[in-house]
Amino acid sequence: MNNEVYTFALKNTLNEIKNVCPTVSNTFIFKEGKILANDKDTNEETATHTAQAFDAITERADALGGLETVTIQGANGRVNIACINDFYLTTVTSKEADEKYVNTLTRVLIPTVLKLVEKIHPASINDETLTTVNPEPEGDNDTYKTTIDTEDYEKEQPKEETATIEPEPIQEQPEPEVNAEPWLPEPPVTQFIVENLGGLLVPSDTVRIDNAVIAQWKELYGDKKIGEVDLETLNGKTARFKFKPIKDSKQEGKGIIQMPEKIQLTLETAKGELVMVKPAIE
């Protein structure tokens, strides 16, 4: 049971990484050639072959003092296999992907989830019987989520008991909150360099942001309307403003945020300084 929760947590994390970074096409985690979790677009056979090919390198990497990371840069994409807490995380990205962003995200998220699951289920992480395959239960995802949640609470109960309990009415149990309100992912934080935005018709309460970043937010939150962004400077000044995409296509992809002088004064920032931006989700 613990292992299922463990695999479930990792699998969901991998899927979230893909949601946040659309340039990530495949992610999976393996240990000693066994696939522990893979995202929904990665088949296990491919992952296993990759793990085997990687192990062949590992066996010959003593000269480097033990292997930590392998990065294969191809003409159309990149494969990165990195050691995280004795596990190996594989990330396949397109050529356009921001390597630093993806690496930062994966190397923060995965260890955090591993640590969290380790705290919740200390026995599972080193368990040899760790579920290596990800058998999706039949039925839709919501059913799966509910099942896992229930299992989480009842993990100590033997299977037979669960089977006998199942037909009994459980109407009195409150519905899990997850089903009542759709879960929204944490707003991703993006760092930008401040650029001046001037002109007669420029609204003083609106910043301009890279179109690609706005597209990522839309992809992440679907129909949820995002009308404003939260800005935070390195000095800790925060404020919420409206935003629009950058008009000048030459300025796109440069990691800049165009900001009217008034907003710069409010935030006590200036051209060339860094600000953290995240979508304001209500």
Partner 1 sequence: MVKRRKSIHETSTTVIMEDETDVSTVEEDQTFTNLRTNLAEINKFEGILGYILRNATSATIDLKDPAKLVEYAILSSQALDSSQEISELFAIGEIESVLIEGKDTKALCMAIGENKVSIFMEKNTDHTDILKRVAP
Residues that bind partner 1 (CB under 8 A): 25-26, 46, 49-50, 53-54, 56-57, 59-79, 92
Q: Residue 27 or 190: which CB sits closer to partner 1?
A: 27
Whole-number minimum distance, CB 98 to partner 1, in Å?
15
Whole-number minimum distance, CB 45 to partner 1, in Å?
9
Q: Residue 13 or 27: which CB sits closer to partner 1?
A: 27
Measured CA to CA, the distance from residue 153 to residue 149 in angstroms comes to: 7
Whole-number minimum distance, CB 74 to partner 1, in Å?
3
Whole-number minimum distance, CB 230 to partner 1, in Å?
33
The closest alpha carbon to 17, from 8, 27, 9, belongs to 27
Q: Are 239 and 263 in contact (CB under 8 A)?
A: yes
Whole-number minimum distance, CB 19 to partner 1, in Å?
19
The closest alpha carbon to 69, from 54, 83, 59, belongs to 83
Q: Residue 72 or 215: which CB sits closer to partner 1?
A: 72
**Residue environment code for 44-78, b if the CB has 16+ CB neighbours within 10 A, otherwise e:** eeebbebbeebeeebeeeeeeeebeebeeeeeebb
Residue 115's CB: how many other CB atoms inside 10 A? 12
Q: Residue 67 or 226: which CB sits closer to partner 1?
A: 67
Q: Residue 2 or 23: which CB sits closer to partner 1?
A: 23
Measured CA to CA, the distance from residue 11 to residue 62 in angstroms comes to: 31
